[in-house]
Structure 1
């Protein structure tokens, strides 16, 4: 059920977008920029010790299809983010990388204005990989489970020309992942990061 629910949401969004597509030009917006991912301060306890996860900033790209002037379907991709995992009293015990592709639907309040705010909601799949142990856990096998979760977004577009625009956004992503050491579950990391982004977009 945990996997079927987000898949159903993606299918529903696709079904909404397809019949609403229109023939006007410039329905696509491609954006390139950076996002800083800041996990929440208290992601939970692992093996009885309070954990913390470092922030990471990486290049990102997104593609949005505007199937009406107000509504758009957006896919976010990124260069892998890298995080240090620390435990209270032990310091850094692991390092991991993650890719968080996010598909969402956005509502643009004033699409014909120079300044156009928007809100969005969607689904995220976070893939953790290349997880390595360190410090007190050096030599142990550490794994972090992949995660499905909801995502929310708020931001604005600033029109530069008819084709070019600048975008600032803030995303909240629900990421909850089981953590295992040598195959034994030691807790759940409720990462739930806030992602702050700036990008330059081109409409075509």
Structure 2
């Protein structure tokens, strides 16, 4: 079974395993903030050259549905992130990406002022507006979209009965084939850590 089929099935199984919902516990949390997508330091090789991808920060939004006080399902979105790609230390391309992520979270202390949580999920990253620069100036660059697993952890801090402050971190599995002028030149291994701060409103 391919990874593209396995990951959605695993997430579906996790959702099905959640406890039954209780109407009195249902709640939504809408969060606004900013996240940094920080690719790992070794991003593989393209055309035989060591590849590096820089970080970017953008405003973000997430919506979490609390099935029970402990269990929640959330989706993360953001404005497009822009990254510079270097080959052997030289600028070679730029690209933009959107990485919506769906996950299941477990909140350890939902009634406490400070509540840690962990989660797992599924990420889809769409790359677009990829352009050759520097070494590849004028070349047609295409980066394939990616499906991958995601892990999530963070802290909710209650500021008021309806307001919370959240600090969180995610690890996302992002690996994509790269093509230059139609020819595959390798796989970019992005696998970023994603750090975020946000304010949330519970309703």
TM-score where L is the length of structure 1:
0.94
Aligned residue number for residue 125 of structure 1? 124
- Distance in 2 (CA, whole Å) between partners of 1:105 and 1:83 is 28
Task: Indicate if the aligned counterparts of 2:25 and 2:68 stay in contact, CA closer than 8 A.
Answer: no
Give the equivalent residue in structure 2 for 1:99.
98
Asked if structure 2 preserves the Cα contact closer than 8 Å seen for 1:26 and 1:203, the reply is no
Q: Which residue of 2 aligns with 1:80?
A: 80
CA distance in 1, matches of 2:97, 2:21: 33
The root-mean-square deviation of aligned C-alpha atoms, in Å, is 1.4
Counterpart for residue 187 of structure 1: 186
- Choose 99-108 or 7-16, whichever is displaced more: 7-16
2:23 aligns with 23
Please show how residues 36-55 of structure 1 align to structure 2 within 5 Å.
36-55=36-55
Residue 14 of structure 1 deviates from its aligned partner by 4.5
**5+ unaligned residues in a row in structure 1: which ranges?**
none
Output aligned runs, 1:139-150, within 5 Å.
Answer: 139-150=138-149
Between stretches 109-118 and 24-33, larger displacement belongs to 24-33
8 Å contact 1:9–1:123 — kept in the other structure?
Answer: no
User: Is 1:157–1:167's contact at 8 Å kept on the other side of the alignment?
Assistant: yes
Alpha-carbon deviation of 1:30? 0.5
Q: Which ranges in structure 2 are unaligned for 5 or more consecutive residues?
A: none
Deviation string for 1:113-142 (max 9, x for gaps)?
000001111110100011011112111111
1:42 aligned counterpart, secondary structure: coil
Query: Which secondary structure does the structure 1 equivalent of 2:199 belong to?
Result: strand
**Which range is displaced more, 180-189 or 8-17?**
8-17
**Structure 1 residue 9, shift from structure 2 partner:** 3.3
Aligned to 2:157: 158
Distance in 1, matches of 2:25 and 2:13, equals 25
CA shift, 1:26, in A, is 5.7
1:20 partner SS: coil
Could you tell me the TM-score, scaled by structure 2's length? 0.95
Does 2:3 correspond to 1:2?
Answer: yes
**Preserved contact between residue 26 and residue 67 of structure 2 (Cα < 8 Å):** no
Deviation at 1:13, TM superposition (A): 4.4
Measured against aligned partners, the alpha-carbon deviations of 1:7-49 in whole angstroms (never above 9, x if no partner) come to: 32343344445x7222126611010000011000111111011
Aligned residues: 202
